[in-house]
């Protein structure tokens, strides 16, 4: 035991010491270990928290159990990156302490020291999070703050926490941002059982005044969680809209947990959903993307960037991975599209820096997709295909890991559906795991497809990135055979490219 830990033990804080002590880092090459998605070295993770860009560095905080691979002892894990892809894990940032777990929240850059918690003349990071504690009545959730004066490396909890307390058991997941026009902080926070998002304002992150409520609206089949309010620019345009993203658990259309969005307007106090076609939808139509939040602190000329937890509460505790359990989605740049089919949220994955070798899929290579053996690929890889405006009824690809196991990704134009079918993909970890996830196809948008295939997941983007679908898979091999299927006849034209992707861990855990 180190001298620091011995002193901590004398004062009854050995658990805190254990959180801060560096753990021996295992490798990043276990079966199912993602190679282009962030996962912690070990133990359990769920929601991303406090995504922020500060001093040329991206910060990912995340729900984390420092003591095991099941949910519990919720604290904030921490990793940093120069490019949103290559992550270096740091010690636990904000630990569970005195019976208060650290639930989901956000981090902001307090440039003007409105909080009074920064060093004089310096910006600092302020975390706003839900503190969850047990009470004789069952439980209590409050909003709290902590501050860091050293680029997020160490954190101090505000001595007068909580800063917002409604005396409720379910009141969580604050999303905070700076309103430059009103010169105040704005918080969106969830009342899960009431299917409402409440908006609050503060001059200093300590005193909060209620502004308005949004909801119930849209889908209310489960708890509303992880709200996020973001200003979204037009894709290839100059206008902007506001998007309010809200998690739903359980009760999502694909089963278990999922996330809906509303496009509309926000006047600094009240969000109003648009009535235009397409203004309400789902950020992800797969089973495995939940509680995605956006990065604070990005330059004003950049679009928002979302990142989510790649799992589902139906089976998250059963994932067959070790010594870690849980991973994050790819970051996605967000915009919106307005066309003849209406409004839609676009999500473009950040993946290009990992492109390595590639081969064009045209002529002989395209024909090989239809041949018996198909094309060979080893995860991780990206497959981009453009089917044009085909008249075929059903078409897509199958990713075979062996003769008995495959995942099917396709378009069904007759039923107006895009889908992933993982019924035969590999290990069935739960009765809720096998199945087919679907998204509605929009009239007039092209049948394009982008797949990012990792060792234990598929992220699919279709119809100009207006459909996102993320599904975990646990195949017996990372060696795939890609085969095209069409019905009733071969499409007149297909083009695309197959990319080999570099591992984000390629330089070893000491570097990343």
Please name the residue ranges forming H helices in 274-415.
Answer: 364-370
Alpha carbons 104 and 89: distance in angstroms, whole number: 18
Alpha carbons 410 and 385: distance in angstroms, whole number: 11
Alpha carbons 497 and 337: distance in angstroms, whole number: 24
Please name the residue ranges forming H helices in 332-436.
Answer: 364-370
Alpha carbons 378 and 257: distance in angstroms, whole number: 30
Alpha carbons 331 and 348: distance in angstroms, whole number: 8
CB-CB neighbours of 440 under 10 Å: 14
193 and 140 Cβ atoms separated by less than 8 Å: no
Q: Where are the beta strands (DSSP E) in 23-119?
A: 43-54, 57-65, 75-81, 88-94, 100-110
**Nearest C-alpha neighbor of 20 from the set 77, 73, 63, 72:** 77
Phi, psi of 354 (to 5 degrees): -95, 0
Q: Which residues contact 157 (CB under 8 A, 6 or more apart)?
A: 94, 97, 144, 145, 146
Q: Which residues contact 408 (CB under 8 A, 6 or more apart)?
A: 396, 397, 398, 399, 419, 420, 421, 485
CB-CB neighbours of 347 under 10 Å: 25
Per the annotation, the verdict on 47 as an active-site residue is: yes
First to last CA, the chain: 27
**Nearest C-alpha neighbor of 305 from the set 319, 318, 295, 317:** 295
Q: HEC states along 158-201?
A: CCCCCCEEEEECCCEEEEEEEECCCCEEEEEEEEHHHCEEEEEE
Alpha carbons 412 and 416: distance in angstroms, whole number: 6
175 and 304 Cβ atoms separated by less than 8 Å: no
Question: How would you classify residue 116: left for phi > 0, otherwise alpha for psi between -120 and 50, otherwise beta?
Answer: left
Q: Which two tokens stand for residue 88?
A: 């270096």
289 and 310 Cβ atoms separated by less than 8 Å: yes
Q: Which residue has the tokens 């839900």?
A: 130
> 47, 110, 288, 421: which one is catalytic?
47
CB-CB neighbours of 348 under 10 Å: 20
Alpha carbons 245 and 25: distance in angstroms, whole number: 35
Alpha carbons 100 and 158: distance in angstroms, whole number: 14
Alpha carbons 306 and 350: distance in angstroms, whole number: 10
Catalytic residues: 47
């Amino acid at each position: 035991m180190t001298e620091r830990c011995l002193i901590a033990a004398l004062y009854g804080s050995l658990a805190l010491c254990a959180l801060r002590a560096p753990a021996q880092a295992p490798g990043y090459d276990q079966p199912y270990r993602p190679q282009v998605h962030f996962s912690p070295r070990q133990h359990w993770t769920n929601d991303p928290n406090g995504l922020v860009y500060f001093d040329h560095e991206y910060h990912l905080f995340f729900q984390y159990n420092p003591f095991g691979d099941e949910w519990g002892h919720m604290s904030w894990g921490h990793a940093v990156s120069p490019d949103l892809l290559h992550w270096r894990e740091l010690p636990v940032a904000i630990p569970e302490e005195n019976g208060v777990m650290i639930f989901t929240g956000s981090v902001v850059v307090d440039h003007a020291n409105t909080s009074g918690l920064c060093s004089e003349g310096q910006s600092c990071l302020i975390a706003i999070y839900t503190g969850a504690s047990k009470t004789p009545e069952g439980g209590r959730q409050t909003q709290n703050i902590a501050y860091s004066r050293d680029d997020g490396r160490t954190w101090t909890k505000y001595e007068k926490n909580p800063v917002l307390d409604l005396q409720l058991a379910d009141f969580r997941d604050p999303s905070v941002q700076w309103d430059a026009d009103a010169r105040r902080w704005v918080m969106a926070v969830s009342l899960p059982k009431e299917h409402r998002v409440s908006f609050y304002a503060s001059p200093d992150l300590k005193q909060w005044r209620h502004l308005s409520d949004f909801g119930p609206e849209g889908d209310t089949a489960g708890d509303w969680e992880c709200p996020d309010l973001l200003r979204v620019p037009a894709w290839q345009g100059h206008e902007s809209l506001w998007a309010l993203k809200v998690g739903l658990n359980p009760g999502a259309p694909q089963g278990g947990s999922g996330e809906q969005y509303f496009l509309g307007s926000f006047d600094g106090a009240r969000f109003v959903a648009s009535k235009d076609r397409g203004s309400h939808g789902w950020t992800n139509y797969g089973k495995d993307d939940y509680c995605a939040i956006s990065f604070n602190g990005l330059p004003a000329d950049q679009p928002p960037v979302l990142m989510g937890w790649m799992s589902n509460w139906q089976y998250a505790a059963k994932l067959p991975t070790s010594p870690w359990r849980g991973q994050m989605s790819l970051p996605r740049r967000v915009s919106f599209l307005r066309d003849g089919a209406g409004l839609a949220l676009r999500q473009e994955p950040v993946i290009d820096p990992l492109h390595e070798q590639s081969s064009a899929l045209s002529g002989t290579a395209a024909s090989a997709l239809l041949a018996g053996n198909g094309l060979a690929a080893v995860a991780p890889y990206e497959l981009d295909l453009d089917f044009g405006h085909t008249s075929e009824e059903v078409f897509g690809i199958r990713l075979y890991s062996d003769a008995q196991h495959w995942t099917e990704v396709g378009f069904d134009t007759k039923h107006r559906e895009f889908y992933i079918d993982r019924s035969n993909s590999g290990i069935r970890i739960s009765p809720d795991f096998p199945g087919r996830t679907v998204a509605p196809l929009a009239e007039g948008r092209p049948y394009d497809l982008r797949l990012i295939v990792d060792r234990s997941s598929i992220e699919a983007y279709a119809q100009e990135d207006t459909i996102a679908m993320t599904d975990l898979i646990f195949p017996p091999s990372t060696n795939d055979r890609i085969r095209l299927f069409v019905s009733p006849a071969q499409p007149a034209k297909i083009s695309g490219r197959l990319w080999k992707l570099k591992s984000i861990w390629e330089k070893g855990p000491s570097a990343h």
